[in-house]
Amino acid sequence: MLKKAGVTNLEKTSLDRNVKKNIFDYLDRKEVALIVNTTRPRKRSIDSTHIRRVALLHNLPYFTTVEGTLNLARALVATDSGKNLSYEPLKLPSEKPC
């Protein structure tokens, strides 16, 4: 569904640093443009919290639903703004405004 909406270069990754394709390797190489985290109902909430923190620390857009990601992809394709996308990342509670 995401590829059909214009999202390319999708990779399923792991939070486990011991796994070959883990999210941290991609982040270190600056190969991540956005994070989509869909969890199973029984998935531990600690994983979701950790992924959100990773997204915030790396100033990456973060989505929790495929529907939200599809809406972003459709909007970017419709406006052709994907090439010049800019956004203001959320600040962590401990950060002070500039």
Q: Residue 36 pLDDT > 70, yes or no?
A: yes
Q: Answer whether 50's CB lies under 8 Å from 23's CB.
A: no
DSSP percent split of the chain into helix, strand, coil, nearest 5: 35, 5, 55
Is the per-residue pLDDT at 50 higher than 70? yes
What pLDDT sits at residue 46?
56
Query: Whole-angstrom Cα distance, residue 55 to residue 35?
Result: 7
Question: What is the C-alpha separation between 82 and 80, in angstroms, rounded?
Answer: 6
What's the domain count of the chain? Answer: 1
User: pLDDT tens-digit profile of 60-75?
Assistant: 888 888 888 888 877 8
What is the domain-level CATH number for residue 93? Answer: 3.40.50.1380
Its domain, for residue 10, covers 1-98
For 21: left if phi > 0, alpha if psi spans -120 to 50, otherwise beta; the answer is beta
Q: Other C-beta atoms within 10 Å of 96: how many?
A: 5
Cβ within 8 Å of residue 24, ≥6 positions away:
17
